[in-house]
Structure 1
Amino acid sequence: MGQPPNFWFSILILIHLLLLTFWLGGDLGTYYSSRQVTKPELSVDARRISLKIMAFCDMGPRLCMPLFLASGTLLIVADPLGEKLRWAAIPVVLFTAVWVALVLIEHNVVGDKPLKRVSLRLDYAARIAVVIGTVGTGTATVILGGKPFGVESNPRWLGLKIALYGLTVLCGLLIRLSLKPFPAGFMALVKDGSTEAAERAIGGSMARATPFVYVIWALVITIAWLGVAKPGATL
């Protein structure tokens, strides 16, 4: 976008790319370890260790998702073409900081404590707000004529990128809903060993969540391509 990037703009691009890398890499680690969690032929201890690895790997995409929003916004406003939108950077960065804090609370607070329950509800609300805001803004940018984002460089590719980002957040919510029976099923596995009911809860949850994981991968790769190719842009 615009003129050749200066030093700080290059740093923002690097951060944006690193977040994308850790997002996909962490997701792949989460996916592989989740396959081990669902294997009934493994011991309970082995599956418990796999679950710990899965939770650790999952922190990559869980943190990169909100940070990607902030880094993308900073990239927009750091470019001369986004000068008119620089006022939007502060609320987005503050929102991202709160979102990241909620993710860290959910990961580090053990058990069904009030703080964790509140953070989960707020996290859901934040994700829903992001889905509505990004999909709505991005879709409007792609569809409507005139000067999206107040510039004449035809950044409809950016609108599509923003909308697709919102869809990744939506897929993340659908994964969470798909995995709702999982905790009770795994607790039953640890307590009573492998039973048909426990395996059904564990395996069924993962099976329902897996298609949304594949969709996220496709969306993230498409988002990366849009950022590189910028189709239709007149820069």
Structure 2
Amino acid sequence: MSFIEMYQLPILRWLHIVAMVYWLGGEWGVFQTSFNVINRKLSMDERRRHMETAYRIDILARTGIIMLLPLGLHMGHFWGVQPLGGNWLVGMWIVFAMWLGLCWSAYYYRDTEKGIRLTKFDESIRFVVIPALLITSLWSLFGDGPLMAETGQKWFSIKMFFYGCTLMIGLKLRFIMREWSELFIVLAKGENAEVEATLDRSIRFGRKLAYLYWVLILTVAFFGAVKPL
């Protein structure tokens, strides 16, 4: 038995933990940076630097979010709660590698029209993934869905459901961050009280969402680690 075959599950579990850490820690970093983004006492250049910092932190959180799903599905196959393996897992990793490449490309070109188009494409993928996760998890829990959801196996479907919920909130937060960039383009032309007020409302709403976001992230981590049902 090769090293990979022997330690495949522990390695996947380790990567899953790392992805979760980057996700939770990254969102906390963006949250803290947002206080300086709307601080009118700072110069526009200083505020822009803080916004750039937020984007640099956020790309790690976005990476963690995307990686959690294929890692979880792969481990789910080992645990017998996700029946698809073999070539399906290979194809899944190829698809998610392409999605991750799209995410990083959008980040790289974030200050250009190309970056905006790539970001919108990245966001559109979530409109497919989120319903798929919610429907699959609920179907498996309350019907005859594809996931194993007998006693002792329900945790996987529950975890998938809450993960889908976090993606919904995360998508809204992505919209908010994109709005920051659009508003800063206007502010770069000069002071604008109306735009400042819009920016302030946008970030304050985003912070409220962030609290719920963290609760759901911790819930996802709880069901993955404890597997109570």
What TM-score results when the alignment is normalised by the length of structure 2? 0.88
The alignment yields a C-alpha RMSD, in angstroms, of 2.3
Amino acid at match of 1:149: L
**Do 2:22 and 2:64's aligned partners in 1 also have CA atoms closer than 8 Å?**
yes
**Do 1:24 and 1:61's aligned partners in 2 also have CA atoms closer than 8 Å?**
yes
Q: 2 CA distance for matches of 1:6 and 1:227?
A: 22
Match of 2:184 among 173, 183, 186: 186
Post-superposition, which runs of at least 4 consecutive aligned residues in structure 1 deviate over 6 A? none
Q: 2 CA distance for matches of 1:45 and 1:129?
A: 38
Q: 2 CA distance for matches of 1:83 and 1:60?
A: 27
Match of 1:201 among 187, 198, 201: 198
The corresponding residue for 1:63 is 63
Q: 1 CA distance for matches of 2:203 and 2:149?
A: 44
Encode CA deviations 1:58-114: one digit per residue, 9 max, x unaligned: 1111111111111111111233x257321442332222112111111111014443x
The secondary structure found in structure 1 opposite 2:39 is coil
Q: 2 CA distance for matches of 1:169 and 1:22?
A: 15
Q: CA deviation at 1:215?
A: 1.8
Amino acid at match of 1:135: L
**Do 2:81 and 2:147's aligned partners in 1 also have CA atoms closer than 8 Å?**
yes
Q: 1 CA distance for matches of 2:188 and 2:83?
A: 56
Q: 1 CA distance for matches of 2:182 and 2:145?
A: 51
Say if 1:10 and 1:132 are closer, same or farther in 2 by CA, change over 3 A. Answer: same
The corresponding residue for 1:218 is 215
Percent of matched pairs sharing the same residue: 22
The secondary structure found in structure 2 opposite 1:149 is coil
The corresponding residue for 2:43 is 43
The corresponding residue for 1:160 is 158
**Do 1:185 and 1:202's aligned partners in 2 also have CA atoms closer than 8 Å?**
yes
Q: 1 CA distance for matches of 2:220 and 2:178?
A: 28
The secondary structure found in structure 1 opposite 2:85 is helix
Say if 1:164 and 1:19 are closer, same or farther in 2 by CA, change over 3 A. Answer: same
Say if 1:111 and 1:43 are closer, same or farther in 2 by CA, change over 3 A. Answer: closer
Q: 1 CA distance for matches of 2:155 and 2:57?
A: 31
**Do 1:182 and 1:201's aligned partners in 2 also have CA atoms closer than 8 Å?**
no
Unaligned 5+ residue runs, structure 2?
none
Amino acid at match of 2:35: R
Q: Within 5 Å, which residues of 2 pair with 1:32-181?
A: 32-79=32-79, 81-82=80-81, 84-87=83-86, 88-113=88-113, 115-144=114-143, 149-150=147-148, 152=150, 154-179=152-177, 181=179
